A and B are shown apart, each in its own frame.
Chain A
């Protein structure tokens, strides 16, 4: 039996309502904080409004201009960024301990006092950045794939949709309302990792995140159940022509179990075996090594709070589009029809569990992993037993989840020259 080192994380509730998750790493040179506000795009009154709020956090407060904030951040050992995802908005910050107080003074300022005065300019910048990103055929294929598969729900909030909804974000007041209803220490989950005493962290957080009497916004139960029950009713194809594209960029995907579902572990192993192990996965061996159809071919499983997304990707010579789609069907078909071998299953388990230690090497990686999982609804205990759940999966489990989810309708997204679409 493979021994997996557990992460010794402690949990505490602070006076301001904030949840503190603390992981001691004595050897870490820097302190890493990952701070999560649950909700993310699920709380958007207009698609992408949360993204806009988080972009504007560091662009001006009641007492500091954008330029002053930038100069202050650059004058510290602080690295800080914010990011909105489907189920949360996160602020990641690393610093040396000497800058702990100065860093949190800055973070606290934009957590409570952002003014959103740069809103109109930021809207233009967002539009420009999204267009720049969509100039890459692969990004375009991914964008229409995710938007299509999540069918107008907040999980499909991607660049092209934000671009369309920018005109509906017409007032600073709407941003402020959203900001005040979501940026509240009561719901804040702070995951910290590094060489620091937990009392110091607790004191700092209580000092810089004073309690807010208001209750923060929460995701509506009806939206949650809409996401949980979301299905693809029939096979679908979305395409976009780029005649200057050298490859066809193909995504194919299914809606699958979320991160808390009992099928999570078997599905994660299925993903490893099919296309996520690296150079030794089935898709890689068959479509790349044997058939030479691609440089980049893989599968991925992203388990969000209410739904999971399983996808296959290949970038191939346009005329090989059908061969690749057929290859996808054949490889998925094998998982439906033949149990994986005992050796392949054992290898996949070791791959998943071994990678954990590589991907959790730094303080920042650990803080983020624990905080994100907690925010998605896993308790510390549940986070800790993921390795055991993976160990317990059988070949029959994998075949069962393959049959249950991958025989359902799927969505295919292709970007490439018009003659192949």
Chain B
């Protein structure tokens, strides 16, 4: 190891350790009393590092990482972990891919770190560094649009079913629509993380394997362990299991050179309507926010979100749902997603459209509330204090579970690029002034910066075509 730091994790009594090794690999240990452990590895890749030819490969790879190593056959990891009562899974998003195991530590006689955890760490590290991605598990390439294809269907088909599943989720569908509009062509965030049927059906196994070996390099990996362990024993085990040299993973990939300033927000199109066989109308309004590492602005927008639409007393909730004599809106909320190349602030909702009015007319109620907040009725001191209090509680909640702590750390390191995004959250929140919050609202949420997608209720519409399906 070249560096070891001791850090104080909010709400936990004992300090955590951050270890950086010569090869660039980072390990974080968070001591937390109790039977439950969480081990996770965050990889600094996701659709961020994809292009039009390999869109969806990060997520497809995530599926295939569960398909065995030199030491363990496909399915052996799942079986071993689940038969100890552990929860295993993984997730892929724009800036990251991560893999986790949460489970009971197991008996400690003869096993200083617990019998279950010992096995979990061994298999997890082996999977992270030594997945073999067997051809027969990927399955032969096939044309997903050929209704007569009778050949073998393996993991390609599972992911294609996941694409179909997501198309049947109204919120996913409307999210994809607004997300597409918000970025210029070629921007890595513009594509849907899961990819397209055509790519998943055909991408060669070798392309996936090469991508894996390229991006899962030491500097791109952070492993986080939360639980009740002796640090020295644990650290020694991390060194032994995360043996990058043994797997030939010594060369570090250059981090992606893309920066937020490479792309300007597209101006040409700010409103989109798609139709579906729905009874109600779904919409999302998106705004570009600060980069995730800009903690003051990010937290300021968290406060704005609480005041505008995230709490019971919030303005949109009161004005659109609770106060009208005949509410047209069925649901409305706001939030902020953090991204390396710029967060997204969004307002989402659902309403009923009668034949006499149009979706655009109804949406004016949302626009009017945002406009008021920016001009005549800025956030008040009372609203500000309530929001700050709720954010503190939400933050405290994170510390209640091993997985909550691990995810906060993993995301801070991977998306914001610094652990400070987590460690300094409370301090920045405490120092935040109302003026900064109102200034952030004005800076990011002005009307000319909004992108709006509406999925219009149209019971007569037929199945629409997406992503060029034939």
Contact = CB atoms under 8 A, between A and B. Distances in A.
A361 B350 contact: no
B85 A134 contact: no
B83 A289 contact: no
Given A278-B82, A354-B86, A354-B104, A315 B401 contact: no
B443 interface: no
B326 A67 contact: no
Contacts of B313: 67, 70-71, 73-74
Contacts, number: 212
A245 B168 contact: yes
A362 B88 CA distance: 19
Interface string B294-336: 0000000000000000011100011001111111011100000
Interface string B81-101: 011111111000000000000
Interface stretch (A109-117, A135-143, A372-380): A135-143
B88 A292 contact: no
Contact of A361 (B167, B276, B351, B401): B401
Contacts of A121: 322, 324-327
A139 to B, nearest CB: 10
A332 interface: no
Given A5-B35, A121-B324, A315-B165, A351 B330 contact: no
A358 B86 contact: yes
Interface in B208-255: none
B66 A279 contact: yes
Contact of B170 (A125, A136, A350, A352): A136
Interface string A63-96: 0001101110111110100000000000000001
B165 A296 contact: yes
Contacts of A350: 83-85
B161 A317 contact: yes
Interface residues of B, number: 83
A29 interface: yes
Contact of B78 (A128, A137, A278): A278
Contact of A347 (B82, B165, B312): B82
A8 B276 CA distance: 52
Given A77-B389, A131-B330, A243 B153 contact: no
A interface bracket (residues with beta carbon within 8 Å of B)? 35 or more
Interface in A223-282: 242-247, 249, 277-280
Contacts of A353: 85
Contacts of A19: none
A346 B84 CA distance: 10
B85 A292 contact: no
B6 interface: no
Interface string A3-27: 1010000000000000000000001
A347 B385 CA distance: 51
Nearest to B11: A29
Given A244-B463, A249-B168, A66 B322 contact: yes
Contact of B83 (A79, A137, A347): A347
A27 B154 CA distance: 46
Contacts of A5: 35
B418 interface: no
Contact of B158 (A128, A244, A292): A292
A106 B86 CA distance: 39
Contacts of B278: 135
A67 B389 contact: no
A69 B317 CA distance: 13
A285 interface: yes
Nearest to B144: A317
A180 interface: no
Interface stretch (B121-129, B182-190, B258-266, B392-400): B392-400
Interface in A122-172: 124-125, 128-129, 131-132, 134-138
A77 B79 CA distance: 41
Contacts of A277: 82-83
Contact of A315 (B168, B317, B351, B389): B168
Interface in B363-421: 385-387, 389-390, 392-393, 396-397, 399-402
Given A246-B163, A249-B168, A361-B400, 9 more contacts: A30-B397, A67-B313, A74-B312, A125-B327, A128-B327, A246-B164, A292-B156, A358-B103, A362-B401
Interface of B: 11, 33-36, 66, 74-75, 78-79, 82-89, 102-104, 107, 116, 139, 147, 152-159, 161-165, 167-170, 276-280, 282, 311-313, 317-318, 321-327, 329-331, 350-352, 385-387, 389-390, 392-393, 396-397, 399-402, 461-464
13 contacts: A27-B34, A74-B390, A249-B168, A278-B88, A280-B83, A291-B153, A293-B153, A295-B158, A316-B161, A346-B83, A357-B36, A357-B85, A357-B104
Nearest 6 CB-CB pairs, A to B?
Answer: A354-B85, A128-B330, A292-B157, A292-B153, A347-B83, A70-B312
